[in-house]
Structure 1
């Protein structure tokens, strides 16, 4: 497991040292292939759990790493075509930073020590901020600083929450442990006021990284100005790992007897996130900012799923995979459309399906999938969450959930159809930016996986989602 973290870091150093900008993207691809091989090897032969180990390949790690490695591999292939077309930009920091981000995300997934989790989340912030500035204009600089400042504030609050959790288990000799297993084992012996305070600060801190409302203000700018590759890894990867950090703290909160308090907090932020996304998606003319609000919505869906318990929680972990892969489709295809038209607003972009015969339809298909249309995977994970709400007698939650999703569907449809349909002959054109298999093939592959997850869910994956849900009292 250590190699799964160390290998991307070592390759990041190679990328920073390599003089050839043309060959440097191959290092990114090598890192993706090594990481994918490592994750598959761990899935094939899971290492035995060791008492006191800081790193463990538990069901939460399996779900998120399987999603992230597939998304990163698709992004690394995409980068071969994308960076070849962006020879005007030095890609040293971009390639190296993406590999550092992969290492940091892997550490968060495997970490069972909340101090190490915090360090890895901070590393993800520091490695990502410079990448948002890749286009080197005033708007991308503003977005990078906003991401860094708001993310740093969130991570500072998470540090305070981590301290409070340590104090919750303090005895005569001081704080005893920040290991998740030790804190769960302490259970009712933990100080409940400190546990409550810790959960609030950690939910706000890591919720900022997730982009839960009202902590989401960095997302529209960062996702709007970042390259499509980074947008895919932020919306489909890093936010999932921030969610895992919240879930690990949620485990401790349940063990301490404060599960009802934590569920109410998650429910409130989840509904607020979906409601806010519904407001801002309607009339959105910038299609990349629209995807940012879609990300806010889906982080809210995850929070609601976990708060409900039962099958809804298993549905939430299923949704981490569906949302992550579908966001890859949307951001990578949106990046292709942005480059082909030189704009990301519906004032200038229309007829994408005719100008980009692969990316345009993929953007439309990704929209249908992310809004929960059958037969794509997100329909079934969202259905599990809605069904869980009604099954638990939370009719008002299920009703609001469906109402917000309906508004978001209509709002996103207006923007997406403006982009995809129409005659592109009078729209701006950037020469040499048509579809290629390197830039359109990866989102196509991800789209096929999302469709496959809707048509047939393998028993092994279903059991994995159930095992992850069981850690917080849920399950199929």
Structure 2
């Protein structure tokens, strides 16, 4: 019931934004709901046994290790977004005039995302992910520019096609199990536990799983259906970019984890090869675009494609890579939250997104510069961040599984990404300043969430409590870890 309260909070908060127009009231509701949701989800995560599973709302929703972890993660990110929006509305009169509509739509988006994370039924989860697409599109063109409207349409079309492909995959899964000894296929998670999959109609099952992986991959920005991501992440407001990159992304990641948890696609060679191929292709695509990128927000968007590719490769390798994938996915969400929120601060200060026009951020915007530097280090996989250890675990699993060709190509491509990102961002951080040096504009409301995110990133790498490690291991075991 406590998780049900977490899900209900953003919905009731959204209702409170209707009626009398008041910027302060909307902002207070936004921040209050975000903090309350995070505290609620964190308490449930901290005090629930790892193996505890409970269902509610007629078994449509579930509280298990995966849902509790990802709910806490997206709630933490949403809290950071709320504090960022609060600060922007306080310092930007133009933004304040549109804040009530934005808050209402953001709370609707978060409500649906929470429901998707807690869902206990594959079709319901699919419907809710589709609903997040509908809720996110108006947020993308919040500023009503022609380019942002075009980006919203591209996002909507690609997402709709990807989720449509995934739905066809679920239909094929149903056809693939029809008439087997296991009976009709149920899409309730708890009814899939322990099911033995027959081999009489394996091709239908393989095709269904392949389409589901490809469809969800489109939503994650994996190659070849990645074209929507750079433009959408660039043209959406920074707060919306974080919602897409660290909230919706993780709702889809959890959906993919659920597929692995209950349909065991890691035992199907076709799916493993599919994940490895599209993962490496995504890293290749991101490497090429990072080399030629001129816009720092797009640069990080391309790096997001690279991150999705690493996760896909890790899922394809399986076994001991599973723990690394879970750790990497969590770190990835926090890294993107730090970087995109910091990009918003930089853009608000200097009114440019071009890399060549910014030098020496560590001197001109000391606090934001430090967070940008930290985010870049974590993005590139430096120790001691969780992303470093997650990536190392994936690479070790490649060697253990004798995937030497994959290991070689993976190392080559990630090296290109590393060098290209460093070449583009290091002058931004440490170069000779070409703007005035001032602490003006470094608001505490935008610094606090980044400080919190960086602390979590470091804890994932430096010291992970035994209970947290057991939680991650439990989730990794569920998706095929050994």
Please name the residue that 1:436 is paired with. Answer: 443
Report 1:263-412 matches (<5 A).
Answer: 263-412=272-421
Please name the residue that 1:80 is paired with. Answer: 86
**Other structure's SS at 1:177 match:** coil
**Match for residue 152 of structure 1 among 142, 160, 169:** 160
**Other structure's SS at 1:56 match:** strand
- Distance verdict in 2 for CA 1:389–1:40, change over 3 Å: same
Please name the residue that 2:237 is paired with. Answer: 227
Please name the residue that 1:418 is paired with. Answer: 427
CA contact (8 A) 1:199 1:250 kept: no
Deviations 1:387-420 (A, max 9, x none): 1111221122222222211111111112212322
**Other structure's SS at 1:9 match:** helix
Once structures 1 and 2 are overlaid, which stretch shifts more, 162-171 or 138-147?
Answer: 162-171
Report 1:224-263 matches (<5 A).
Answer: 224-254=234-264, 259-263=268-272
Please name the residue that 1:3 is paired with. Answer: 5
1:165: how far off? 2.4
CA contact (8 A) 2:364 2:435 kept: no
Distance 2:131 2:456 in 1: 30
1:220: how far off? 0.5
1:470: how far off? 1.0
CA contact (8 A) 2:22 2:100 kept: no
**TM-score under structure 1 normalisation?**
0.93
Distance 1:163 1:3 in 2: 33
**Match for residue 471 of structure 1 among 475, 478, 481:** 478
CA contact (8 A) 2:10 2:111 kept: yes
Report 1:117-128 matches (<5 A).
Answer: 117-128=125-136
Once structures 1 and 2 are overlaid, which stretch shifts more, 365-374 or 186-195?
Answer: 186-195
Please name the residue that 1:113 is paired with. Answer: 121
Distance 2:135 2:48 in 1: 31
**Match for residue 146 of structure 2 among 127, 138, 149:** 138
Distance 1:258 1:312 in 2: 15
Please name the residue that 1:49 is paired with. Answer: 54
1:27: how far off? 1.3
Distance 1:55 1:344 in 2: 42
1:14: how far off? 1.7
CA contact (8 A) 1:341 1:348 kept: no
Please name the residue that 1:194 is paired with. Answer: 204
CA contact (8 A) 1:340 1:433 kept: no
Distance 2:264 2:53 in 1: 25
- Structure 1 unaligned blocks of 5 or more: none
- Distance verdict in 2 for CA 1:57–1:18, change over 3 Å: farther
Is 1:58 paired with 2:64? yes
Distance 2:440 2:151 in 1: 25
CA contact (8 A) 1:350 1:424 kept: yes
**Other structure's SS at 1:23 match:** helix
CA contact (8 A) 1:11 1:99 kept: yes
**Match for residue 34 of structure 1 among 36, 44, 49:** 36
- Distance verdict in 2 for CA 1:85–1:162, change over 3 Å: farther
Distance 1:433 1:241 in 2: 36
CA contact (8 A) 2:311 2:329 kept: yes
CA contact (8 A) 1:389 1:398 kept: yes
Please name the residue that 1:214 is paired with. Answer: 224
Distance 2:48 2:465 in 1: 18
- Structure 2 unaligned blocks of 5 or more: none
